[in-house]
Structure 1
């Protein structure tokens, strides 16, 4: 318990240093016929780069979920486990009963909840996309009955939400039939990636645990590569503490593709691949990162080294040139692309071509780079050929 408390304290302390990036906004709503307060977090560095786009997270229950989500977003981006995000929190403190209400006899949203749903879809998203540099990747986050409201966005004919984070969900009794009516198989036909997170909690009533468990088991039967179902169970005596655990657990899975190649990812997806397939895997990983999150990272050197042995040791290193070309395509300023092409030519005893690529690569390096001297040895070695 102490460990969890310290983690939360650290996140909130970490977040407090960025409080100057929070914008309070009274958003005029034609749909609600009133103004609704929203809170917007703008990530560090947003003003310095006028081209980069950022994923958008829309957090319901802003009064208590916003700070926790932003704190985790900052921590994950600092640890290179997720892209920086723009986060908007919607105030519901005085209106939640109306915003998320539904007919207990049908599960359908009430009139006021329908208006709130349309407010999110047609006004909040439009406002954020019109005024901030957002990427197409949108996350919806809600707790309890707000999580139930979020599930209704699965019924949109044109999918525009990428990840649904349903924390401690209080589903209607009709959630099963509602999910079936949404024809979730349609997501499999989209050229996009989706995530659906729910958590159960050991301290919930037996009835609530059974309902969530049944939904999770039903969702687990979906067989779509681009619709990722994340069924979580949190063992804790308090549903409040489950909130603090659910958000980072959801982020870990949702932004898994963004993270550097882990030992688990290498063991499960890469180690048995042929060189050409390993190269394609790495290239596709970074193309997907750019497509989903608007983040052009080039390629992390650690990920290059992760598949290096496959390319060098299998098929006599015949794919080294393809490996180098792929790196130059996605990360043209890196000397590693030139290095691998040079190594390919050196292995084939085409020393003049090898020397040329080694020189090009060395020219991209900062003389203070600790690897510069080792790289230059390639030039010295072939200088007499």
Structure 2
């Protein structure tokens, strides 16, 4: 029996859904050498041939790639973050040269300038050409490389949208330069900064001063999060910071939360339908992802409409349901509820009956829908 079970598992391993890690080398004209890459593709990347994915670029890939890739896979599995292509660059022997800056103007120079151009002009082009990438990019670094990632923000059109700074070893003038750049940003930017109570003292002091500057920025296009983890060292803070950074960066992407439901959908004058439409339009605009509306989000809006009695919202909600789940009963149910609550019970009854033969979804099935039709028939004597 055990042998048969083992054989079954082995034969079905290719059918299981899991993320893939690929090891590649890329030849760089800028660096005049090859570099090693680790690339984690999302689950079912090969099957979802029409889907595109944001890029998470991880410097210090020798040790940062695995924790970042694992967290991205975990958060995306629960839809708290989008699926992403995670790319790590191994730098164990080159990181000091890669992140080198000049002593006079404190900007990338020599190998540092070449590495800066390699990432922006060669590596990103290579990834865009080889993989299905969306137009949303995040870059991650730790101490020396965390300082380096911020140089991209000094460009007039930064190629990265999100910057995850794990205990950065800030170059002189960097705090002022980045604060000024973010304050003037005309496009959406996400900036994350982390230290710990047991971080390297000199770094921690500079990071806290940097936080004071960033916290004072008045720009609606900048989303900023700072963490100072208690009892965390320069290295252990990484394990705490990565999930915190993902949570803060992808707040809009996550499913409708209990807090959203109680404090926005039930307590404000905002239409539940408008909230749903705005949420998914924001996902498209912010992350470049055209995402199918989650069933659980439809259910949250359904419950909010029932509570607030905003029956007109059912008309638009049914259209969204037909567009997103055309073979199911979802759109039919919302359309019937609209007619039922706006004075057309006979029409509602017929719409409920139309659910026969459609696919069940959530709590909706044929028995439920036909019983709704029968209840109307009894009540009105049709």
1:274-313 equivalences under 5 Å are 274=269, 276=271, 278-293=272-287, 295-313=289-307
Q: Which residue of 2 aligns with 1:38?
A: 37
- CA drift of 1:256 comes to 1.8
Q: Any idea what SS the aligned residue of 1:235 has?
A: strand
Q: Give a deviation string over 1:13-55, Cα, whole Å, max 9, x none.
A: xxxx999822221111111111111111112201112101111
Alignment of 1:108-187 (within 5 A): 108-182=107-181, 184-187=182-185
Deviates more, 1:17-26 or 1:375-384: 17-26
Q: For each residue in 1:176-224, what CA deviation from the matched residue of structure 2 results, as whole angstroms up to 9, or x when unmatched?
A: 2322453x2443x33xx42100102111244322211121121112233
Is the Cα–Cα contact under 8 Å of residues 52 and 294 in structure 1 kept in the other structure? Answer: no
Give the structure-1-normalised TM-score: 0.86
98-107 vs 83-92, which moves further: 98-107
Aligned residue pair count: 364
- Whether the 8 Å contact between 1:61 and 1:91 is mirrored in structure 2 is yes
Measured in 2, the distance between the counterparts of 1:318 and 1:233 equals: 47
Could you tell me how far 1:316 is from its partner in structure 2?
A: 5.6
Q: CA RMSD in A?
A: 2.5
Question: Displacement, 1:144?
Answer: 0.6
> Can you list the C-alpha shifts for 1:57-78, whole angstroms capped at 9, x where unaligned?
1110010001111111111122
Matched, 1:226 2:221: yes
Q: Cα 1:323–1:273, aligned 2, differ >3 Å: closer, same or farther?
A: farther
Match of 1:246 in 2: 241
Contact 1:271 1:310 in 2 (8 A): yes
When residues 180 and 68 of structure 1 are mapped into structure 2, their CA distance, relative to the original with a 3 A threshold, is closer
* Structure 1 contact 147–166 (Cα < 8 Å) conserved: yes
SS at match of 1:216: helix
Contact 2:58 2:139 in 1 (8 A): yes
Length-normalised TM-score, structure 2: 0.87
Q: Which runs of 5+ in 2 are unaligned?
A: 1-15
Specify the alignment match of 1:194 in structure 2. 189
Q: Which consecutive unaligned segments of at least 5 residues does structure 1 have?
A: 1-16
In the alignment, what sits opposite 1:352? Answer: 346
Structure 1 Cα separation of the partners of residues 320 and 189 of structure 2: 27
2:20 maps to which residue?
Answer: 21
How far apart in 1 are the matches of 2:157 and 2:275?
A: 29
Could you say which residue in structure 2 is the equivalent of 1:81?
80
Task: Indicate the structure whose relative CO is greater, using CA pairs within 8 Å and at least 6 residues apart.
Answer: 1
Distance 2:139 2:288 in 1: 18
8 Å contact from structure 1 (residues 299, 331) kept in 2: no
Matched with 2:318 is: 324
**Cα distance, 1:368 vs. partner?**
11
2: CA distance between counterparts of 1:370 and 1:114?
A: 59
